[in-house]
Amino acid sequence: MPGTIVTDLVPPVDYVAGNELTFKIVITAPEDGTYYVLGALYDIDLDYISDSLFGVLLLGETTDSYVSPVRVTTYGLSKDEELEINCRFILSRSSIVMGLFLVRMVGEEASLDDDIEEASISIMLAGPVPPEPINLNSVANAIVAVGMIGMMMETAG
């Protein structure tokens, strides 16, 4: 069975940069080993946003994981073992795609050059929808029409 990474987020997710994004990740190990989760941000055309790679870090005694630009928490898992990770992220951008990756370590330390991506998922984080622009021509036409009606009523009276 291949490794999996799933989340309880249902895309597209309404998200505004700087706000907390709370969700769960469930990872499944394809074989015995040590695993960690990485994330990266992409624009809506799925182009990688430079310097946006991050690790998922478990802090102290908490059960919540956070975005870390340089560190990850590793998990020793047996084949087909599942692990649920509670995440609380604050991201610096909206209207992006967040990719999450389950990575298996091949050495003693996490290494982007050597470790193996086992599974991935992408989630669209949609920014706020901007208000519809006001069509000034329509507003001007309505003002003219009301003015003409007013003038016609004066001349008729």
pLDDT in tens, 14-27: 999 999 999 999 99
pLDDT digits (tens, 9 = 90+) for 76-112: 999 999 999 998 888 888 899 999 999 999 999 888 8
Residue 96 included in any domain: yes
Q: What is the CATH number of the domain that holds 50?
A: 2.60.40
pTM of the predicted model as reported, rounded to 2 decimal places: 0.77
**pLDDT band, residue 40 (cuts 50/70/90):** very high
Does residue 138 fall inside a structural domain? no
Does a structural domain hold residue 141? Answer: no
Residue 102, domain member (yes or no):
yes
The pLDDT value given to residue 101? 96
Rounded to whole angstroms, the Cα distance separating 128 from 147 reads 37
Q: How far is CA 128 from CA 13, 20, 52, 88, 91, in A?
A: 10, 15, 21, 20, 15
Comparing 150 with 41, which gets the higher pLDDT? 41
Number of independent structural domains in the chain: 1
